[in-house]
Amino acid sequence: MGPDRIHLRVMRELADELVKPLSIIYNQSWLTGEIPEDWKLANVIPIHKKGGKKDPSNYRPVSLTSVPGKVMEQFILSVIMQHLQDGQGLRPSQHGFRRGGSCLTNLISFYDQVTRLVDAGRAVDVVELDFSQAFDAVSHSILLEKLALEK
């Protein structure tokens, strides 16, 4: 539950009553590019991944945000994804962050391509890069400066 303490069940049970006011808020937000300040807040809770529970690096933060804000995010995501797929913004080789795409589908596609090349008598070189924890190595002050320039 986010900082507004609105539970998803409340949204579902009051959907008929909330559809009109929320559609006004969503449309206004879409037109102005602004979202309600309360929807920018989050309750951050640590979720244990693996390993010792006393080691902070064995936890990942999960942000619990406003349910109405999450609903709006899903609308926006569906519009963006449809636009990317219709306009060929995503290559077929892109598996992450796509419906039906996963590490497994990426691995199967990779295996299929390598197998075809080997069957054709071609040499195959593979380079693997591990970007896990790459964000931790980024200078946050430089990142913030670059993000500020984007505004």
Q: What is the pLDDT of residue 43?
A: 94
Verify that 58 and 111 share a domain, yes or no: no
Verify that 129 and 84 share a domain, yes or no: no
Take residue 82 and report the two structure tokens written for it: 């449809």
Verify that 84 and 114 share a domain, yes or no: no
Q: What is the pLDDT of residue 150?
A: 77
Verify that 67 and 109 share a domain, yes or no: no
Verify that 13 and 41 share a domain, yes or no: yes
> What are the CA-CA distances from residue 103 to residues 6, 33, 107 (Å)?
34, 33, 6
Verify that 26 and 56 share a domain, yes or no: yes
Verify that 57 and 8 share a domain, yes or no: yes
Verify that 129 and 148 share a domain, yes or no: yes
Verify that 81 and 130 share a domain, yes or no: no
pLDDT tens digits in sequence order for the chain, 151 residues long: 888 888 889 989 999 999 999 999 999 998 999 999 999 999 999 999 999 999 999 999 999 999 999 999 998 888 888 887 776 677 778 887 777 888 899 999 999 999 999 999 999 999 988 887 787 788 888 888 888 887 6
Q: What is the pLDDT of residue 88?
A: 67
Q: What is the pLDDT of residue 16?
A: 94
Domain containing residue 18: 1-90
pTM above 0.85, yes or no: no
Verify that 103 and 120 share a domain, yes or no: yes
Verify that 62 and 109 share a domain, yes or no: no
Verify that 82 and 105 share a domain, yes or no: no
3-state secondary structure the chain: CCCCCCCHHHHHHCHHHHHHHHHHHHHHHHHHCCCCHHHHCEEEEEEECCCCCCCHHHEEEEEEECHHHHHHHHHHHHHHHHHHHHCCCCCCCCCCCCCCCCHHHHHHHHHHHHHHHHHCCCCCCCCCCCCCCCHHHCCHHHHHHHHHHHC
